[in-house]
Structure 1
Amino acid sequence: MDNLGIVFTSEVIGTMLLTLLGCGVVANVALTKTKGFAGGFLLVNFGWGLAVFAGVTVAYISGAHLNPAVTLGLVANGATEFGQGVPVGPLSILVYIGAQLIGAFIGAVLAWAAYKKHFDAEEDAATKLGVFSTGPAIRTYGWNLVTEIIGTFVLVFVVIGFGRNGDPSGLAALGALPVALLVVGIGASLGGPTGYAINPARDLGPRIAHAVLPIKNKGGSDWSYSWVPIVGPIIGGVLAGFAAIPLMPILG
Structure 2
Amino acid sequence: MMSPYTAEIIGTMMLILFGNGVVANVVLARTKGNDGGWIVIAAGWGIAVFVGAFCANEFSGAHLNPAVSVAMVVAGKMSVLDAGGYIMAQFVGAMIGAMLVYLFYREHFNVTDDADAKLACFCTDPSIRNSKQAFFCEAVGTFALILPIFLMATPSLTHGDAGSAGESILGLGSLGLLPVGLLVFGIGLSLGGTTGYAINPARDLGPRLVHALLPIKGKRDSDWSYAWVPIMGPLLGAALAALLYRFVLVS
TM-score, normalised to structure 1, is 0.91
Q: Structure 1 CA distance, aligned partners of 2:248 and 2:228?
A: 29
C-alpha offsets along residues 68-120 of structure 1, whole Å, 9 cap, x if unaligned?
A: 000111111121xxxxxxxx333211100000000000000001111000000
| 1:76 maps to which of 74, 96, 105 | 74
What CA RMSD, in Å, does the superposition of the two structures yield over aligned residues? 1.4
C-alpha displacement of 1:223: 0.4
Mean Cα displacement is larger for which, 193-202 or 241-250? 241-250
Match of 1:84 in 2: none
C-alpha displacement of 1:163: 1.1
Match of 2:43 in 1: 46
| 1:27 maps to which of 16, 24, 28 | 24
Q: Structure 2 CA distance, aligned partners of 1:193 and 1:95?
A: 31
Q: Structure 2 CA distance, aligned partners of 1:248 and 1:114?
A: 45
Match of 2:187 in 1: 186
Q: Does the CA contact (< 8 Å) of 1:16 and 1:103 recur in 2?
A: yes
Letter in 2 for 1:208: L
Letter in 2 for 1:223: W
Q: Does the CA contact (< 8 Å) of 1:17 and 1:54 recur in 2?
A: yes
Match of 2:239 in 1: 238
Q: Structure 1 CA distance, aligned partners of 2:50 and 2:248?
A: 27
| 1:9 maps to which of 6, 10, 15 | 6
Match of 1:220 in 2: 221
C-alpha displacement of 1:16: 0.2
Match of 1:55 in 2: 52
| Change in CA separation of 1:131 and 1:138 when aligned onto 2, cut-off 3 Å | same
Matched, 1:112 2:102: yes
Residues 185-204 of structure 1 aligned to structure 2 (within 5 Å): 185-204=186-205
Q: Does the CA contact (< 8 Å) of 2:149 and 2:170 recur in 1?
A: no
Q: Does the CA contact (< 8 Å) of 2:138 and 2:237 recur in 1?
A: yes
Match of 1:136 in 2: 126
C-alpha displacement of 1:248: 2.6
Letter in 1 for 2:101: A
Q: Percent identity at matched positions?
A: 49
Matched, 1:96 2:86: yes
Q: 5+ residue gaps in structure 1?
A: 80-87
Letter in 2 for 1:203: D
Match of 1:162 in 2: 152
Q: Does the CA contact (< 8 Å) of 2:154 and 2:170 recur in 1?
A: no
C-alpha displacement of 1:165: 4.1
Q: Does the CA contact (< 8 Å) of 1:56 and 1:171 recur in 2?
A: no
Q: 5+ residue gaps in structure 2?
A: 163-167
Match of 2:165 in 1: none
Letter in 1 for 2:87: I
**Aligned partner of residue 173 in structure 1, secondary structure:** coil
Letter in 2 for 1:137: S
Q: Does the CA contact (< 8 Å) of 2:45 and 2:184 recur in 1?
A: yes
**Aligned partner of residue 132 in structure 1, secondary structure:** coil
Q: Structure 1 CA distance, aligned partners of 2:52 and 2:169?
A: 10
C-alpha offsets along residues 202-222 of structure 1, whole Å, 9 cap, x if unaligned?
A: 000100110111110111000
Q: Structure 1 CA distance, aligned partners of 2:240 and 2:94?
A: 24
Q: Structure 2 CA distance, aligned partners of 1:104 and 1:176?
A: 20
TM-score, normalised to structure 2, is 0.92
Match of 1:67 in 2: 65
